[in-house]
A and B are shown apart, each in its own frame.
Chain A
């Protein structure tokens, strides 16, 4: 159990998503069931079996950061992370980096070494055209070998140091450290689609131990580039309904056939409660539980009973001191909303359903559980952080977002997925006070976080 000194709260949130670049407007769009899907514009994908995605549109770092000079070569993943962090930082009252001056202007006594970062950010974008040129120049089809001198000549001529080094997955972290003057513990995790949930959970643990006062946590990623889309097409993980992108992502629907690629970032300011209160900050929600597990089953398949997901949920519930089988005096389960991993692949959604039923028993059908991936696609490493912000918004408003495109029931998916229309829970006793976010990574790494309304 968590004692008072180790309580952790979220005091700021920000995101860059395919539906927009600020928490409030995107939240309205999610409740209205809007879709961000459209044709891929970043490269010529017309002939690809999946030629659509949920792209971040009309985005520029200008306006988020007063001084972008240190971030000129930043790839899109790092730029999204910076913009999301700037929003979170401002909401937390730590400073406004869109204006010139020190980033800690809102809290000048914040010690840089007590400010840490834990991201679940993905790698940058391969310099595809130049990479292809070098590969084709060097390739000898007769001997089926790569001629190193030719490859090296073209590679050195066309690929640049900045573009190559900015692809390292720790670069979003490096940019954030620079922009916010952080010198504390700094980590990047890349547990595939679970990464930013893991990052937020581990950041919480660092704060609980007292190794930092404030952590910038979350994730950023884009795989909307030729090899990213290629890789997932080959895995048959992407929806191929090219004629109707808006209806392509159909989590929990019997006709679901894969996920839609999204991109973006979600960043939160996590803080030791004591520290937040001492500086007069307003806690938005409290982080009460975190769990991490591995399926240890197969690289290509999820453990059929969802035992990995069961383990991460149970671990988070135990830490939170929440009995999944209990109900309150009104007969409501103690978890009021679950943000599903809900990718829209055949395998994930049915196994996730099975896992939630195993954990919550008779309570499972009473808990609204939705997937915003139906609207903004799968943000891969960034998905978990964005979805945790959705949970926080649900707690703040007592509305939960819908799962769109859910029209054909699947007997293997028989829970309450909030189909096609947001749910107003303001009339439910207690509204939405406690929410759980699940993220499951390719390869079998699973993470769960539980947050609760802050109640002093």
Chain B
């Protein structure tokens, strides 16, 4: 019998700003954080709308002694560092970096860190400034000039801003987490797969507590370009005159796509016996996890295979029948091709229309947060279970496939168990079952 694992802290940075509290309020109020992109001049992109964590800077959320290090953090890293701090505070945990020098709750070697990340894009202006020093007479880039001297215009630690493992590394340094440490890079599934890894690490007693989740910002030129190329973004013409909360339309075959976003979700997973011993108030228990891989295919039934396997395995570990799930939080991107795949998977497990199980959908409010997505889903899922409430659902059209995903207000609900799941661009899928603690 493996150890039981609970979530004792849920931290977030999202389009609603710093904190899982702000996220929960925004979601329950039925607001959308979609707005014109301010982080860069998006005039050359397919759509100028996005979701940004405006006003958020990691500088405001790290110990004073660590402020200088924020300079070597890509936006993705800042988001993760912020969400980790939020999680620690909400969990009532003391670490080296949070808790005003009090004795840390756990020994450093008892604390692990599994944080998923994306392909972090270098800052184009920073590189352009350096690259522009290395052109030949015709104004074209010269490798020779770059190698000789231009290269020195890049800050020495430039590379370290963009290594995906730096999300976890900064968090481990700030909070002195010396236990098992991992960085999953599987697109949108990164967050849930990381939570699955943390779960296993604690179950096999390699840690008592884990920082777990994911973060990404695609609100930069390369990020937006790549999402455009993946066919995931609505165009400017689709959004013109449409209220922000109506742009993303999950499971609507006529949906124009999603909106680029940024965000982080970091959970604190803790061995239940240890959490109880310190009198912690858990948000939820993780009772099942599953992962699976989908083939590349033109057929939605085949593409759905990996997610189906992930959900079945999560339910099987939890010892639950599909009918015992009270709400489902899928990726619900509003990208018809992805939604169709997801609907197939959910219907193959839950039956037609997923048996009317209510869905919880986030992208209309917080955008497409990629490696942050699964983690933010889990974070919201844990709060739903704790608060016994479904957040509002945004939708500007009509969901097909019989899915209960249309626009609705936030409401109280009996939520004993919530399924959180997602696929990813590379075909990896993950599913998590959260239960009332």
**Chain A residues at the B interface, C-beta cutoff of 8 Å:** 43-49, 51, 70, 113, 116-117, 123, 129, 132-136, 138-139, 141, 144-153, 155-156, 159-161, 164-165, 167-171, 173-174, 177-178, 181-192, 195, 198, 202, 205, 209, 211, 226-227, 230-236, 292-300, 307-308, 311, 315, 441-445
The stretch among B246-254, B258-266, B333-341, B421-429 that forms the contact with chain A is: B421-429
* Cβ contacts under 8 Å, A138 to chain B: 44, 124, 128
B158 close to A174 (CB less than 8 A): no
CB distance from B203 to the nearest CB of A (A): 9
User: Pick the contact of A294 from B128, B143, B168, B226 — CB < 8 Å?
Assistant: B168
Chain B residues, CB < 8 A from A298: 173
Across-interface contacts of B131 in A (CB, < 8 A): 132, 135-136, 139
Chain B stretch 332-368: residues in CB contact (< 8 A) with chain A: none
Q: Does B274 contact A (CB under 8 A)?
A: no
Q: In the docked arrangement, what's the CA distance between A133 and B164, Å?
A: 25
Q: Which of A161, A292, A442 contacts B229 (CB 8 A)?
A: A161
**Bound: A437/B166 CA distance, A:** 23
Chain B positions within 8 Å of A155 at CB level? 44, 221, 225
CA distance A141 to B385 in the complex (A): 53
By beta carbon, the residue of chain B nearest A150 is B44
Given A155-B221, A230-B151, A231-B158: A43 and B143 interface contact (C-beta under 8 Å): yes
Question: Could you say which residues of chain A place their CB within 8 Å of the CB of B425?
Answer: 165, 168, 170
- In the complex, what distance in Å separates the CA atom of A387 from the CA atom of B176? 29
Chain B contacts for A116, CB-based, 8 A:
291, 293
Partner of A443, one of B41, B45, B166, B180: B166
The 8 closest A-B pairs by CB, nearest first: A152-B44, A231-B159, A148-B41, A47-B147, A443-B169, A170-B426, A161-B229, A48-B147
Nearest Cβ on chain A to B188's Cβ, whole angstroms:
10
Chain A residue contacts of B305, Cβ below 8 A: 183
User: In the complex, what residues of A have CB within 8 A of residue B172's CB?
Assistant: 294-296, 444
Q: Is the CB of B147 within 8 A of A445?
A: no
Within 156-175 of B, Cβ neighbours of A (below 8 Å) are at 156-160, 162-166, 168-170, 172-173, 175
Report yes or no: A151 in contact with B155, Cβ–Cβ below 8 A. no
- CB atoms of A442 and B185 under 8 A apart: no
Report chain A residues within 8 Å CB of B392. none
- Residues of A contacting B204 in the complex (Cβ-Cβ under 8 angstroms): 205
**Cα–Cα distance between A34 and B228 once the two chains are bound (Å):** 46
Q: Nearest Cβ distance between residue B244 and chain A, in whole angstroms?
A: 21
Cβ contacts A to B, 23 pairs, < 8 Å? A51-B147, A113-B292, A132-B131, A146-B221, A149-B43, A152-B225, A159-B229, A165-B230, A165-B425, A168-B426, A169-B119, A170-B427, A174-B296, A177-B295, A185-B293, A189-B184, A190-B165, A191-B168, A227-B122, A231-B159, A231-B162, A294-B168, A296-B173
Given contacts A139-B132, A165-B229, A300-B157, contact A186 B291 (CB under 8 A): yes
Chain A residues whose CB sits within 8 angstroms of the CB of B119 once the complex forms: 123, 167-169
Given A148-B43, A235-B159; 7 other pairs, CB 8 A cutoff: A133-B141, A149-B44, A177-B427, A292-B182, A311-B178, A444-B169, A445-B169
A162's nearest neighbour on chain B, judged by CB, is B229
Q: Is B399 an interface residue, CB under 8 A from the partner?
A: no
The 0/1 profile, CB within 8 Å of A marked 1, for residues 204-231 of chain B is 1010000000000000010001100110
Known: A190-B117, A202-B197, A296-B173. A170 touches B124 (CB 8 A): no
Q: How far is the CA of A123 from the CA of B371 in the complex (A)?
A: 15
Give bound CA distance, A191 to B172, whole Å.
13
**Measured between alpha carbons, how far is A184 from B184 in the docked complex, in Å?**
16
Please name all residues of chain B whose beta carbon is closer than 8 Å to the beta carbon of A169 when the two chains form the complex: 119, 164, 185
Q: Nearest CB to that of B193 among chain A residues?
A: A187
Whether the Cβ atoms of B132 and A136 lie closer than 8 Å is: yes
Most chain B beta-carbon contacts within 10 A, residue among A117, A198, A230, A441 = A230
A80 to chain B, nearest CB (A): 17
- Please give, as numbers and ranges, the residues of chain A lying within 8 Å of B294 by CB-CB distance: 183
Chain A residues lying within 8 Å of B125, measured Cβ to Cβ, are 139, 144-146
Instruction: Choose among A165, A234, A307 the residue that contacts B154 (Cβ–Cβ < 8 A).
Output: A234
Name A186's closest neighbour in chain B (CB-CB).
Answer: B293
State the CA gap A211–B316 with chains docked (Å): 12
Question: B12 in the interface, Cβ–Cβ < 8 Å?
Answer: no
Encode B87-119 as 1/0 by CB contact (under 8 A) with A: 000000000000000000000110001000111
Closest-by-CB residue of A relative to B428 is: A186
Give CA–CA (A295, B306) in the complex, Å: 35
Contacts of A139 in B (CB 8 A): 125, 128-129, 131-132
Could you tell me the distance in whole angstroms from the C-beta of A200 to the nearest C-beta in chain B?
A: 13
B151, B166, B291: the one within 8 Å of A234 (CB): B151
Across the interface, do B43 and A152 meet the contact criterion of CB distance under 8 Å? yes
Kindly state the separation between the CA atoms of A294 and B287 in the bound complex, as whole angstroms: 27
Q: How far is the CB of A220 from chain B (nearest CB, A)?
A: 13
B408 within 8 A of A: no
Q: Which chain B residues border A145 with CB–CB below 8 Å? A: 41, 125
Specify which of A45, A152, A156, A297 lies most central, judged by the most chain B CB atoms within 10 Å of its CB.
A152
A136-B135 in contact (CB<8A) = yes
Q: Flag if B166 contacts A293 (CB, 8 Å).
A: no
Q: Are B141 and A132 in contact (CB under 8 A)?
A: yes
Are A296 and B186 in contact (CB-based, < 8 A)?
A: no
CA distance A205 to B40 in the complex (A): 43
The answer to whether the Cβ of B187 comes within 8 Å of any Cβ in the partner chain is: yes
Indicate whether A186 sits within 8 Å of B292 (C-beta atoms), given known contacts A45-B147, A156-B44.
Answer: yes
B148 on the A face (CB < 8 A)? yes
Give the residue name and chain of the A residue nearest to B294 (CB): A183
Residues of B within 8 Å of A45, CB to CB, are 143, 147
A311 to B230, CA, bound (A): 41
* With A136-B132, A138-B128 as contacts: A294 and B41 at CB distance below 8 Å: no
Docked complex Cα distance between A98 and B155 (Å): 46
Which of B128, B291, B305 neighbours the largest number of chain A CB atoms within 10 Å of its CB? B128
> Given that A168-B426, A445-B165 are known contacts, is A315 also in contact with B206, CB under 8 Å in the complex?
yes
State the Cβ distance, A184 to closest chain B Cβ, in Å. Answer: 7
Rounded to whole Å, the gap between the CB of B77 and the closest CB of chain A is 10
Could you tell me the distance between the alpha carbons of A226 and B144 in the complex, rounded to whole angstroms? 11
| Interface presence of B28 (CB below 8 A) | no
B437 within 8 A of A: no
CB atoms of A148 and B44 under 8 A apart:
yes
B183 interface hit (Cβ, 8 Å): yes
Residue in B155, B170, B182 whose Cβ sees the most chain A Cβ within 10 Å = B182
Whether A152 pairs with B158 at a CB distance below 8 angstroms is no
Name the contact of B182 in the complex, choosing from A47, A202, A308 (C-beta under 8 A). A202
A294 B177 Cβ-Cβ under 8 A: yes
| Cα A10 to Cα B160 with chains together (Å) | 34
* List of A residues within 8 angstroms of B122 by Cβ: 227
A contact residues around B292 at 8 Å (CB) = 113, 183-186
Which B residues lie within 8 Å of A156 (CB)?
44, 225
**Nearest-Cβ distance from residue A256 to partner chain B, whole angstroms:** 20
Contact among A44, A170, A308 with B187 in the assembled complex (CB-CB below 8 Å) = A170
Q: Are B124 and A146 in contact (CB under 8 A)?
A: yes
In the complex, B280 has a CB within 8 A of chain A: no
At the interface, yes or no: B127 with Cβ under 8 Å from chain A?
Answer: yes
Q: Given A70-B296, A152-B45, A177-B427, are A230 and B154 also a contact pair (CB < 8 Å)? A: yes
Asked if B309 lies at the interface with its beta carbon under 8 angstroms from chain A, I say: yes
Instruction: Give chain A nearest CB distance to B189 CB in angstroms.
Output: 8
CA separation between A224 and B135, bound complex, in Å?
A: 22
Chain B's nearest CB lies how many Å from the CB of A130?
Answer: 11
A182 to B159 Cα, complex, angstroms? 34
Among A44, A183, A198, A232, contact of B293 (Cβ-Cβ < 8 Å): A183
B200 within 8 A of A: yes
Q: How long is the Cα–Cα vector from A293 to B156 in the complex, in angstroms? A: 27
Q: Which of A161, A170, A181 contacts B186 (CB 8 A)?
A: A170
Task: Give the chain A neighbours of B166 by CB distance below 8 A.
Answer: 299, 443
Interface residues of B in 53-92 (CB under 8 A from A): 69, 72
For the complex formed, measure the closest distance between the CB of A178 and the CB atoms of chain B, giving whole angstroms.
6
